[in-house]
Every structure is written in structure tokens, then in C-alpha cells.
Amino acid sequence: MTAPHTYITTTIPYVNARPHIGHALEIVQADVLARYRRQHGDRVRFQAGTDDNSLKNVLAAQAADEGVREFVDRNAEAFLALGPALSLTVDDVIRTSRDARHRPGVERFWQACAAAGDVYRKRYEGLYCTGCEQFYSPAELRAGRCSEHDTEPQRVAEENWFFRLSRYGGALRAAITSGELRVEPGGRRNEVLAFIDGGLEDFSVSRPAERAGGWGIPVPGDPSQVIYVWFDALCNYVSALGYGTGDDAYRQWWVGADRRIHLLGKGVLRFHAVYWPAMLLSARLPLPTDIFVHDYLTAGGRKISKSSGSGADPVALAAEYGPDAVRWWLLREVPRVGDADFTIERMIARADDELANGLGNLVNRVVAMIGKYRDGRVPGPQPVAVGGEDLAAAIRHADARIGAALEDFDFRQATVAVWAIADEANRFVNRVRPWELAKAERSGDAQAGRELDAVLSALLMACTALGVHLAPFLPDAAVRVTSQCTPRDGRLPDPAPVFRRLG
């Protein structure tokens, strides 16, 4: 039997500015899933990238008085820097304007939809928000303005290619309600079903090449038009696997994968849970198995926008405070449903309280006590220490609890299971007071000595378990914890801080 194959993707952001903390959230969540599944024997491909072919990029470059190519390249580099800064295990990165795999994939996809009779030309007039790259009906606007950008959309009249979305409402509804295509959390699933039930209208999938400033992929057979950036961008999930270039990865990681998991923000739900699956149905390709939708972060109570310069630059934060602190805040404080507010103060408080004081201090104490009372030699297998039942249970159940939480894309709940080990271990230390057992042992109490062995053994087991279960969440810290708990030549190393205090 071959190991399960899991394909995990993040959305590809527009590169019209540098990344902010909201981008870090999605890619760190994806990294946790990828690491957890690899740790449990799955084969995983973790895919990320940048969306270069957007009109927004063209406009932002013009505003910065810079060439589009230079502008896009510079910002794309800043996004790629997230990988090393946050200790991400991205397997592959696609840049839609640069990658030789992308354009053939988009063209093949277009032709597959055309062969199914699902693209056609139509004269169209509508209200277009360039910020969203989307047409809106007057009913979708708030006082005539885009609710996402608070700008007045342009009236645009042009002849475009359309995709026959109206044909796929029934099939999409069936895929979602049967669970063939999971959309999580449930509130988002209901939102998608309500949108489908409202009636799906065909949508425009091309723009005049002239309006796009020549930027983008020409429509096959019609160079006067470029392919709509969303059609283009969504194809990245298969073009990166070589869908258009006959690459084997496509068969292995799309057609043959057990799970195809997309992570995305609530603002692009409709594109991923309606347009994209409909395009896949049209092209006769398998649907994703899971779509997980996260909410947004604010920074200091304010909406984060790429251009606001809100001080929440994840690369700079990781450089100053370390990737552990940034990852821990994102995973530990952001709820599965609902927005969360980022501040540096909160990130520091969380890291110092739980990582430096809670977890780091525990490991440090345990290694120091084994050094002091047992000369660094780990006591052999011991009966469960009296009063250590809750700790033993926290260790025993951690993996199943983490697995169940991650299956629900509940990252905060998953950290609860990890944290429970440290919390129970600290309680246990304070309850059994090993230093008193050591004192009694020194004054000739052999029973106290045996108890101390059992206590130290249980505590080291907890620290070792932390090293294992922390690995998907805080990979760098997990290495340090494991190193502290691993004897060399029969002895544990000298105690060294696992986390530095930030505050």
C-alpha cells in the first residue's frame, strides 16, 4: 500500500505591495498541515505562489512610476522571503508571469472548457471594481460603492468571453452537500450554498488586451483578449503540477491525490468554492476535496491593507522576535471562525507567558533537576508517578486530539492539546515538589529516591512528547526541546534556554 498523498495549496496573492501578517496566517496554517501529515507518514506536496497577472499590479506599478516587470519581481521576492523567515516547508512556488509551466496550463484549461462548449463571446456592460477585478451588480454595492474597497466601480462596456457557470449549479450543490467537496467552516459552506441557490450567472473570463495594457495571457485563438486574471490565477493549482506540460506530478498530485486541500481567505471564497470547481467540472478534472476558509486579521484594531504599512510585516517580525513567536501567535490566538486583532504587545505577551515561562521553563527545570539529582542520567523505565495520571493522559491523548483538531482546520484547538502537556507537567512539578523528594532521599529515605526516579522519568517523558508534538507548530523550538531531552553518552546536555524572553 502506498502512503496517502496530500496536496496542500495557499492562495497566490497579488503582488501589488509587500506581504503583511494576514498572508503569514494562511501560509503558516498550511505549513502546520503539511508538517503534521508528513510526520504521520503521508506524502505531501505544499504549493504556494504569487499572482503576477493582475491589473492591480499594473496600476500599482504605474502609481509607483516603475516598470511592471521590475515592480512585480521586487514584490514577489518579498513574498518568497516568507518561506525562510517563518521556517516554512513549501515544496514548490509558482509565479504566474514567470513560470514556464503556467501559461500552457491555463491555455489547456481554457481549451478544455471550450471543448465542453462552456466559453462563448458576448457583448457586456457592467460595473467593474479594479481592486476586486470583478464585475458587480448594483445590488451588491453599498451606496454605489464596492464594499471591499469603498470605491466607485467603473462602468465598462465591452465584448468579452463568458464561462457558462449557469450550467453547474446543480452539480456544485450536490458535490458540496454530499461532502465530496468539503467547505469549512460550516458557515462558509452555507454562504456558498446560498449563493448557488440564488442562481448562478455566466461570468466574463476575458478582458480586452488593450485595457489590460498587454499584461496577461492571450485567449487561445483571440489575441485581442487576455484571459481574466481569476481564471488565470485559479489554474495555478494544476498548472504548477504541469497540467499543461504533461508533467507526471499532475497525475500524482491532482488526479491521484487522496486529499486536495485549498486554504484561502473569506474574500475569495466565491472564486474557490464556485467558479473554480465549476471550471474543473467543465474541464472534466477532479474537484478539490477540502476548502478551508479563514477570516481576516486586523492590526491594532485596524483593517490591514497591503499599502497601509501597519507595522505588521511578518518577515521583519520574525527577524526581530524569531519565527516561533510569530507562528505561536498566529496558531494559538486566531480562532477558526471570526477575525483576530494582531498587536506586537500581544504576540510578545503570548510568547513570554507560554513559550518562555510555561514551556521553556519546564524543559529547563526538568533537565536541570536530572542534572543535579541524577548527574544527567535518565532514570530507566518507571511505574507511573503517584499523582501523574493527568499528565500521562495529556501525553497519551495529544496526538489524537491534534489530529482531530487539524482535520477540522482548528489550529487553535490543536495547540490546546500541545499546551495541555506543558500545563499538566508544570502542575505536576508544583504538586510533587521533586526538590523535597531529593532532600528526603539525601537524608536516607530510599522510598523518596524511588519516587524521585518516577517523577523525573515522567517529566522527561512530557518534555520529549513536547518535542514531538510541537514539531508541526514550532519546528525550530521542537528541535531545541528534543536536543535538551536527548542523552549523549548516557547523559542529558547542560540545561540551555529553549526560548528567549522577548518582553
| Residues annotated as part of the active site | 20, 23, 129, 132, 146, 149, 303, 306
Enter the C-alpha cell of residue 388.
501523574
Binding segment toward Zn ion, per CB under 5 A, in 149-157, 178-186, 274-282, 315-323: 149-157
In the complex, what is the shortest distance from the CB of residue 129 to Zn ion, in angstroms, rounded to a whole number?
3
Please, how many CA atoms are within 13 Å of residue 378, restricted to the half-sphere of its CB? 22
Between CA 306 and CA 19 the distance in angstroms is 7
25 near Zn ion, judged by CB under 5 A: no
234's CB contacts (< 8 A; 6+ apart) are 271, 272, 275, 276, 279
Handedness of CA 350, 352, 357, 363 (dihedral sign): positive
Q: Which is nearer to Zn ion, 151 or 177 (CB)?
A: 151
CB of 131 to Zn ion, least distance (A): 4
Shortest distance (Å) from residue 134 CB to Zn ion: 7
**Of the two residues 131 and 256, which places its CB atom closer to Zn ion in the complex?**
131
Smallest distance from Zn ion to CB 402, Å: 38
Nearer to Zn ion, 77 or 140 (CB): 140
27 vs 55 by CB, closer to Zn ion: 55
- Tell the smallest beta-carbon distance from residue 151 to Zn ion (Å): 6
* One-character DSSP codes across 298-345: EETTEE--TTT--S--HHHHHHHH-HHHHHHHHHHHS-SSS-EEE-HH
Q: From CA 163, how far away is CA 171, in angstroms rounded?
A: 16
Q: How far is CA 316 from the centre of its chain?
A: 19
User: Which residues lie below 8 Å from residue 144, measured CB to CB, with a gap of 6+?
Assistant: 138, 152
- Residue range at the interface with Zn ion (CB under 5 A); choices 142-150, 188-196, 220-228, 382-390: 142-150
Nearer to Zn ion, 140 or 436 (CB): 140
β-pairing, 134-136 with 203-204?
unpaired
Place of cell 510578545: 348
Nearest distance from residue 94's CB to Zn ion, in Å? 25
Crossing angle between the packed helical segments 411-432 and 446-470, to the nearest 10 degrees:
170
Other CB atoms within 10 A of residue 159 CB:
13
**Count, residues near Zn ion per rule CB under 5 A:** 6
In three-state secondary structure terms, 171 is helix
Residue choice 69, 149, 284, 303 for contact with Zn ion (CB under 5 A)? 149
- Whether omega before 434 lies within 30 degrees of 0, making that bond cis, reads no
Residue pair 458/378 in contact (Cβ under 8 Å)? The answer is no
Site string for Zn ion, 104-133 (x = CB under 5 A): -------------------------x-xx-
Which CB, 146 or 391, lies closer to Zn ion?
A: 146
Of 10-18, 23-31, 77-85, 148-156: span binding Zn ion (CB under 5 A): 148-156
Q: Binder to Zn ion among 77, 148, 197, 407 (CB under 5 A)? A: 148
- Minimum Å distance from CB 59 to Zn ion? 12
Complex with Zn ion: residue 269 or 356, whichever CB lies closer:
269
Q: Report residue 177 as a C-alpha cell.
A: 452537500
Residue ranges binding Zn ion (CB under 5 A) = 129, 131-132, 146, 148-149
